[in-house]
Amino acid sequence: MENRDVPPGPYRATKLWNEITTSFRVGMPLRKHRQHFKKYGNCFTAGEAVDWLYDLLRTNSNFGPEVTRQQTIQLLRKFLKNHVIEDIKGKWGTENLDDNSQLFRFPTSSPLKTLPRRHPELRKNNIENFSKDKDSIFKLRNLSRRTPKKHGLHFSQENSEKMNCEIIEEDQENSAENREISQKDVEEVWRYVILIYLQTVLGVSSLEEVINPKQVIPQYIMYNMTNTSKHGVVILQDKSDDLPHWVLSAMKCLANWPRSNDMNNPTYIGFERDVFRTIADYFLDLPEPLLTFEYYELFVNILGLLQPHLERVAIDALQLCCLLLPPPNRRKLQLLMRMISRMSQNVDMPQLHDAMGTRSLMIHTFSRSVLRCAEEVDLDELLAARLVSFLMDHQQEILQVPSYLLAAVEKHLDYLRKGHIKNPGDGVIAPLPTYSYCKQISAQEFDEQKVSTSQAAIAELLENIIKNKSLPLKEKRRKIKQFQKEYPLIYQKRFPTSESEAALFGDKPTIKQPMLFLRKPKFRSLRY
């Protein structure tokens, strides 16, 4: 079956449900089966359904290869509960399904779920909120040049030139002034800068479909950026919001297994299983997931980016979104991801489950503690497992503090201090006239832009690594060598010769330049 990407937008989980049920209904092979001396046509066994759906989910970019057979069986049970399928006698809802030869068929009714209608008032409010900040929209226009124009749209050139003219005139008018900025202004700058970057990373024309700006709490972002340990983990001022001491000790024990600083070596067989069960019980008993219920739609939309060619984009998007979390949630997420990542890579870790490997056990156990909807959604388990798997593999990069964001905020604040506030007394950032998306581009132009802009973004990533003065030389060398392995052509363009590469680290050239071939002198014979 064709693997179609579900675009970002509201109710993406429901859209994914419709895509999977449609693919299953269209692609599942039907044939004749005999049961209890009777023949049935156009049906399938439960085992056949598990086999076919299992392959579909593992090859679907929205779910990935780590989907388990048991998760597939659970999804088929939901199919039966929601009347996507029925047993051969037409029963569904309360019936059960196992991986066996029981017969099922498709009902005549449609399996698709209807999407709730969005309220026009909410859409209008979100649009108005997004049009308040002049400098944010100005930045968005500049950033959009480096982003593929999705849906065939971009800013009109006439409006862009008009905006440039207004900003230049205001710069000249207020260049001599240096106004004070209130705390409220600072918080609004943090909110809009992170929204602008998030919109750019996701490549959507508007964030109104995935998040309400009021859900972005600037105080959380500022705290998560500044109150951190040397490893980037959030440090809480109020210790009552932190993990209990016994949970922290248990997590350190398994993260550093078999070397542990806080706990003595186990004195009985199965000690590590008991410690793991203690940690799992704590996280499973949390009243809401670490990514919170209100950000469920946002993170489900980012799941669409978890594809090999969009891995960098997904990391950047998750890095920004995890800054929106309340500090206690971000700290718990950081510590949990560090622990399960180390455990899944630890070859000395004893087997914690009789029928499941350590990595699969980590994903299966903690997925629900990381992501789930307030109202149960049928694909919750699969979506959460996909996200936790990606977080485990990239937790160090996703959960670090992005230095570029702080630099952007400081530059933005400096811009405002120089007079880009119509009424300095009221602390309101002046709104900009409405700018419309008006020019349509062809599919060929879109593909060309997609290649060129993605290469430019990758080249910019290399420059950021090179110019990062806070990065230790050893770490910088490792990242650059990794970049060379992943993107050899872009690397060669940046370092065309061994001298240019050596100049960065102060090394001697690794490749010797070709020696000049000197013509051998001709010797005359001494004989006469």
The Cβ-side half-sphere exposure at 126, using a 13 Å CA radius, reads 18
Is the separation of the CB atoms in 17 and 378 below 8 Å? yes
- At residue 430, the pLDDT reads 33
Per the structure block, which two tokens stand in for 507?
Answer: 């090394």
Residue type, 101: S
pTM to 2 decimal places: 0.68
Task: Tell me the Cα Rg of the chain.
Answer: 28
Q: Which fold has domain 12-105?
A: Arc Repressor Mutant, subunit A (1.10.10)
CB atoms within 10 A of CB 441: 14
Distances (CA, A) of 106 to 90, 99, 208: 9, 18, 37
Smallest CA-to-CA distance from 209 within 277, 151, 264, 165 is with 151
pLDDT tens per residue, the chain (528 residues)?
445 567 666 788 888 999 999 999 999 999 999 888 889 999 999 999 999 999 999 988 888 888 999 999 999 999 999 999 999 999 998 878 999 999 999 998 877 887 765 544 444 444 344 444 434 434 433 433 333 333 332 333 343 334 344 444 444 444 445 778 889 989 999 998 999 898 888 877 778 778 888 899 999 999 999 999 988 999 999 999 999 999 999 999 999 988 764 455 556 888 899 999 999 999 999 999 999 999 998 999 888 888 778 889 999 999 999 999 999 999 999 999 999 999 999 998 989 998 889 999 999 999 999 999 988 778 889 999 999 999 999 999 999 999 899 999 988 888 888 765 443 333 333 332 232 334 455 656 655 665 666 677 777 778 878 887 777 888 888 888 888 887 788 888 888 887 777 777 765 555 444 544 445 555 555 554
List where CATH 1.10.555.10 sits in the chain.
230-400
Is the separation of the CB atoms in 437 and 205 below 8 Å? yes
Is the separation of the CB atoms in 289 and 368 below 8 Å? yes
List where CATH 1.10.10.10 sits in the chain.
12-105
Helices 403-417 & 134-144 angle (0-180, nearest 10): 130
Place of tokens 């024309």: 205
First to last CA, the chain: 88
C-alpha triplet 116, 71, 346: angle, nearest 5°: 120
Q: Which fold has domain 230-400?
A: Phosphatidylinositol 3-kinase; Chain A (1.10.555)
Place of tokens 């309101």: 428
